[in-house]
Chains A and B, each alone.
Chain A
């Protein structure tokens, strides 16, 4: 563990990182209609200012030696109950730093994009308010120096996610999706809160510093429990198996929201949590293994769902699930994987944001139609969108030198170092990625136009395309930049630890195999959807396709396992409440009523009869006194 440095110089402004978007949110949400005209610009401004501040802090950190890069700022003691104490304190280290940059820069870009995308929405101001609220909460999550404060940010992003998914709450599907996301997230939140309680009981503190310092004092069982609970939390927030069901429905929200929250930032909070808690997982092998398993399952679930969906956003959402599965998976590999989890998180944040925004741009041109079977042949009409989308495409399937290649390849590499079986599985998943992304490209930009009547595809305005271009550039070069110039491994090493294990097979071997598998997947995709004409009505498909279209029966499983039992229990409890408890209570009430009916005769309203009782009381009291005295 590195020393905590006091916040000086530019770091004394850490609080401002959060305060700026929070202030923006407050002004926008409470300012009322008078902020309608300038509100969105304020929203963009606050996030951009935070981004600038983040960059300044990055420079500040770079100026310091590696072991002095953990800065702590304590504002005030927030909670103090008995032994329990939690500060309103922030910790900026290498890990937080990359998150801050990702959140603020991608956030700022998406804010700018939203200016165009939401230009005609009557509730634009509210939208930007929520976005700002989200950014503030997310920054709080990654900057907190203790789990309790993390929890605040955790809930804050959950709230923002809920509000934004249900932004068009007039649509029943959006409202339902928002509720679904909220409820499934609660399950994960319970995990986090239990983990925090367990930590307090075990370590007597919830701050990162104290907890990580004293992991050796706790038994492995306790640590495993904490790790599994944290995994539950991460699964909820990051849409990992078995809590994955909400993410696909979350696409009901506006596309910039999908890009920012449900692709780039919030859904990666689970990865952050696991990487942040690396000290716990390092000491709890079984918990780490569980993380690997969950990640692996999700990789395949997401990929399969992504392959079957015709809705461009849902397909991308499946892809997101799959990619986050990669990250979780990597995080579960231990010190060897943490860095790559974060590395992939960063690259994914950029290229997936680009892909989502590109999808949004396509939808913008297609009258908000999301059905890919109604697209086709858009490459000539939406040149910028097409090119930027291609950059994201190449990045996600992992073609060198695009950024996804570097990060994904490292994860596969790490997987092989742990276990050949899971290594092969990840390569297979990379192949599926190639398939569904090619399918998406082919259905959207190539082939014949299958547009609905009255649709006139057109390129989006500059305010939307410029963020796209920036993100495309990021998709292209960021991987290389981080790996070679930014040296991400040694940058994160003080936080995550890094174990360079001997490599049984040469690196180039994995790269080659992976590339071959990816290209095979892409070719299959191209043959199926690029060469053959795409039917407007989806074909019946195999059982796997049908299952994938139904999110691999995620909802059905939830329904059978959770919803129906809950409803049955609720029905039974309601019956019991009605007959049992109410009956009991009503019975008492009836008896009391009968008693009161007899007793009320004494309440005649006649003052004198009351006075008589009083004098009687005095008589008795005096009598008692006398008797006591006599004896």
Chain B
């Protein structure tokens, strides 16, 4: 088995995540889809690290995880704040922000 299969798996997961972002309206699920996309990218990084015989890819994946954690914290805080005012977690709801 060629390790590039991992890359293909990562591509598939990434696309599924993208579709999730596009079709789901619940902000939290959209958020999960974004996390899925990040995870897919991480899988690529880890695989690349192995294919190239150098650990930098793993370090990058690690940093992605850290940044994702920070992003989740803020994102969820925003969702909670929006939910408090609008009683809804629909991502279409804050469209008034365009003004």
Contacts and interface: CB of A to CB of B under 8 A. Distances in A.
Interface of A: 603-608, 611-612, 615, 618
B91 A607 contact: yes
Closest 8 CB pairs of A and B: A605-B95, A605-B98, A606-B95, A611-B21, A606-B92, A607-B91, A615-B18, A612-B22
Nearest to B24: A608
Interface of B: 18, 21-23, 25, 30, 91-92, 94-99
A220 B70 CA distance: 76
Contact of B21 (A604, A605, A606, A608): A608
12 contacts: A605-B98, A605-B99, A606-B91, A607-B30, A607-B91, A607-B92, A608-B22, A608-B30, A611-B21, A615-B18, A615-B21, A618-B18
A618 B23 CA distance: 17
Nearest to A611: B21
Contacts of A604: 95, 98
A608 B23 CA distance: 7
Contacts of B97: 605
B25 A608 contact: yes
A81 B25 CA distance: 61
Contacts of B98: 603-605
B45 to A, nearest CB: 18
B46 to A, nearest CB: 22
A605 to B, nearest CB: 3
B95 A611 contact: no
Contacts of A612: 22
B29 to A, nearest CB: 12
Given A603-B98, A605-B99, A607-B94, 4 more contacts: A604-B98, A606-B92, A608-B91, A615-B22
Nearest to A615: B18
Nearest to B95: A605
Nearest to A612: B22
Contacts of A605: 94-99
Contacts of B18: 615, 618
A611 B25 CA distance: 12
Nearest to A607: B91
B21 to A, nearest CB: 5
Contacts of A607: 30, 91-92, 94-95
Q: Is the interface of B mostly helix, strand, loop or mixed?
A: helix
B19 to A, nearest CB: 9
Contacts of A615: 18, 21-22
Nearest to A603: B98
Contacts of B23: 608
Nearest to B14: A618
A520 to B, nearest CB: 89
Contacts of A611: 21-22
A365 to B, nearest CB: 74
A70 B43 CA distance: 82
A603 B96 CA distance: 11
A604 B91 CA distance: 12
A615 B92 CA distance: 18
A604 B93 CA distance: 11
A606 B23 CA distance: 12
Nearest to B21: A611
Nearest to B34: A611
A608 B25 CA distance: 8
Contacts of B94: 605, 607
B88 to A, nearest CB: 14
Contacts of B91: 606-608
A612 B30 CA distance: 13
A606 B94 CA distance: 8
Contacts of A618: 18
A92 to B, nearest CB: 68
B70 to A, nearest CB: 20
A607 B96 CA distance: 11
Contacts of B30: 607-608
Nearest to A600: B98
A148 B95 CA distance: 60
Nearest to B98: A605
A618 B21 CA distance: 14
A605 B96 CA distance: 6
B81 to A, nearest CB: 16
A611 B23 CA distance: 10
Contacts of A606: 91-92, 95
A615 to B, nearest CB: 5
A615 B16 CA distance: 12
Nearest to B25: A608
A278 B22 CA distance: 82
B17 to A, nearest CB: 10
Nearest to B92: A606
A606 B98 CA distance: 9
Nearest to A619: B18
Contacts of B99: 605
A607 B95 CA distance: 7
A247 B21 CA distance: 78
B13 to A, nearest CB: 15
A607 B18 CA distance: 13
A623 to B, nearest CB: 14
B18 to A, nearest CB: 5
A607 B99 CA distance: 14
Nearest to A604: B95
Among B25, B97, B98, B99, find the residue whose CB has the most chain A CB atoms closer than 10 A. B98
A116 to B, nearest CB: 69
A364 B18 CA distance: 91
Nearest to B97: A605
B53 to A, nearest CB: 25
B39 to A, nearest CB: 17
A325 to B, nearest CB: 70
